[in-house]
Amino acid sequence: MTAMSTRIVTLAPALLTLLIMAGRDLAQDEAGDARQGKVVYEQYCANCHGEKGDGNGPYGQDTTPVPRDFRQGTFKWRSTPSGSLPTDADLEKTLINGLFGTSMSGFAETLTHRQRLDVIAYIKTFSPRFATEKPEAPIEIPHEPPYSAESVTRGEAAYKKMNCAQCHGDEGQGDGESADDLTDDWGNPIVPYDLTEGHLKCGNNGSDIYRVFITGLNGTPMPSFADSISPAEAWDLVHFIQSLSPDYPKNVTGAPPTPVGKGEQ
Amino acid sequence: MRNGLKILSAALVSGALLLARAALADYTVEAVSNGGTIEGVVKLSGTAPKIAPIDVTKNQDYCGQSIPSPVYSVGKDGGLQNVEVFLKDITKGKALSTNTISLVNEHCMFNPRVQGANVGQQIKISSNDPVLHNTHPQNASTNATIYNIALPFKGFSVTKPLPAVPELIKVKCDAHEWMHAWIWELDNPYFATTGDDGHFTIKDVPPGTYTLVAWHEAAGEKPTPVTVSAGKTVTVNIQLAAAKAP
C-alpha cells in the first residue's frame, strides 16, 4: 500500500464522521416546528382527528373508517417493519396523497412542504412513543421484475401458499372465512380489502403493494409476511393482485403496465 | 425562540428517557447465596363458573365445531391453572431469565395460554396448523400493536424480541378471534405460572418482605404479603374469587 492510500484510509473514518454530522444537521433542519404545526392542525385536521388527537373531532364521527386516533403512535401506512413508528417521510406521504377510499384527503396543494413538516411535528406530540422510540429502518424493496403472465400465475400459487384467502377470499373479494368479526386496535369493525376493486388504499404501484406484505398494517388484522415470503414470491403476488384489478390489462405482453387507479398521485 | 423551544423539547425528551431508564434500573442483579423459596397453590373460591365452549366459526374442517373454554382450568383438589404469580417491587436478586420463550399455534389455540418473561427475552412463535394464523401481541391496557406476524402455513416459525419496556401483553389471532394468550413481561425474574394442579414455586429469593401478586385472566389480580427467610421455604396458598359470569 502506498503512503498516499494509507493516508486516505486513515482519514476515511474522520471524513465519514464529518459527512454523518453534516447529514444530521440537514435532518434537523428538516424537522418541523410543532408550535407552527398546532396552528395548521387546528385549521385542517382537528375537525376530524380532534383537538386532542384522539380521533374524536366533530366531523369525524360519521366517517368509515373513523379518523385515526394519534395517541398510540400506531399508523397503518409505513415504510418501517411491523409494530414500528412511521418515519416523518411516511407521514408526509399520507399527507400528500391522502388515503384512497377514506375521508382522508391529500394536502399536496393545500399545505407547503414546510407546513406539512410542522403539522407532522405536532401530530407526533400526541403519542409519548415518539419521545422515547425511534422508527426502525425502512424495509428494503428489491427491484421489480417484469409483469408477465408467468409471474401472475406464480403469484396465484403464492396467494394460495400464503393463505391470503383466509381473509381476502378465494377470488380476492374480501370475503374469506375470517372476514367477519375483525376489529382494529380501537375495537372498531374492519373488513379485509376487496382486491378486485381496482384501487388499493396504500397505493397501486408494485412497490406500494410489496411494502404492505412486508410491513403489515399496524393497528389492523393485516399481519407482516416479512419472515414467511421470499422477495420473488412477493413480487409474483404483487402481479397477481394487480391482475385482479379491472384497470390492469388482462392480455399481458411482458411489459410492465402503467397503473391508472384513482388512488395514484 | 425556536432554538429555545428545541432545547426545551430536547430536555423533556431526555428527561422522559431518564425516567424510562430509571424504571428499568430499579432491579439490580446480585448473587443470591442463601435465598428462600416461595411455593403454594392457587385455588378458586367456590365452584368455577360454567363458561360455554368456544363456538368455532372459522376453519371448522380443521379446528372442529367447538373447543372447551380454557378460562377456568381447575385441576385435582381445586387448583387453578394459568395463574401468573410474581413478586412486585423487588429491587435486587438473581439474574434475569434469558432463554427464548415459546408460543405455539396448535389446534387453533395458543399454547401456553399464560406465561411470564423478562425484558430482553426473545419469543419463538410457531404454527403446527395447516391454516393461516396471525400472532398479534398488543399492550393489554391500551391495545396498542406491538407487532403482527403472519403464520401462513404449517411448520412456520420465527423468533422476535419482546418489547423493551415491561408490560402485560395480550396476544390475539385476528383470523380466529377466540385465540388469546397472555405474557407477563416483568423487570425481575421472580415469577411462575401455575400448572394444572394450581401449584407454583419461586426460588432463590433474597430474604425480605415482598408483595406476591397472583393474576388470572378472568378472576383478576390479588396481592399477598410474603416474608422470605434465608434458606427456608415459605408456603403461600392463595384464593381467587371467580369473576361473575359474563
Band of pLDDT at residue A199, cut at 50, 70 and 90: confident
Last residue of a domain, one of A83, A107, A132: A132
CA distances from A32 to A92, A104, B217 (A): 11, 21, 44
For residue B147, the chain A residue with the least C-alpha distance is A83
* The architecture CATH gives domain B2-241: Sandwich (2.60)
Alpha carbons A93 and A70: distance in angstroms, whole number? 16
Cα separation of B108 and B56, whole Å? 9
Per-residue confidence at A14, pLDDT binned at 50, 70, 90?
low
Q: Which chain B residues are Cβ-neighbours of A219 within 8 angstroms? A: 145
pLDDT at A249: 59
State the cell numbers at B189.
Answer: 425474574
Q: Do A36 and A125 fall into the same domain?
A: yes
CB–CB contact B17 A180 (8 Å): no
| Predicted pLDDT of residue A25 | 42
State how far the Cα of A70 lies from the Cα of A60, in Å rounded to an integer.
14
Residue A7 lies in a domain: no
Under-50 pLDDT residues of chain B: 1-24
A203 and A154 fall within a common domain = yes
For A22, the 3-state DSSP assignment is helix
B218, amino acid identity: A
Please list the residues that pair with B159 across neighbouring strands: B124
Beta carbons within 10 angstroms of residue A100's beta carbon: 19
**Pair A165, A197 in one domain:** yes
- Classify strands B36-45 and B233-235 as parallel, antiparallel or unpaired: parallel
**Is the domain of A42 the same as that of A123?**
yes
Query: What pLDDT, in 10s, does the model give residues A126-167?
Result: 999 999 999 999 999 999 999 998 999 999 999 999 999 999
CATH of residue A101's domain is 1.10.760.10
- Asked if A246 reaches chain B (Cβ–Cβ under 8 Å), the answer is no
pLDDT at site B21: 42
**Is residue A176 in a domain?**
yes
Structural domain contains residue A258: no
d(CA B144, CA B147): 9
Cβ-Cβ contacts under 8 Å for B139 (sequence gap 6 or more): B146, B167, B168, B169, B170
Are residue A168 and residue A236 in the same domain, yes or no? yes
**Angle formed by the axes of helices A34-44 and B2-24, to 10°?**
90
Decide if B58 and A223 are in contact by the 8 Å CB cutoff.
no
Range of the domain at A196: 149-243
Cβ-based neighbours of B120, under 8 Å, separated by 6 or more: B96, B98, B161, B162
Residue A19 within any structural domain of the chain: no
Residues paired with residue B1 on neighbouring β-strands, in sequence order: none
Q: Are residues A232 and A163 in the same domain?
A: yes
Quick check: A132 contacting B, CB < 8 Å? Answer: yes
Q: How many structural domains are present in chain A? A: 2
Q: Would you list the domain boundaries of chain B?
A: 2-241
C-alpha B140/C-alpha B217 separation (Å) is 11
C-alpha cell at A21: 454530522
Name the interface residues of B facing A (CB cutoff 8 Å): 2, 5, 9, 12-13, 16-17, 20, 57-59, 131-132, 134-136, 138, 142-153, 156, 158, 174-177
**Residue B192 has what pLDDT?**
98
User: CA B225, CA B213: separation in Å to the nearest integer?
Assistant: 9
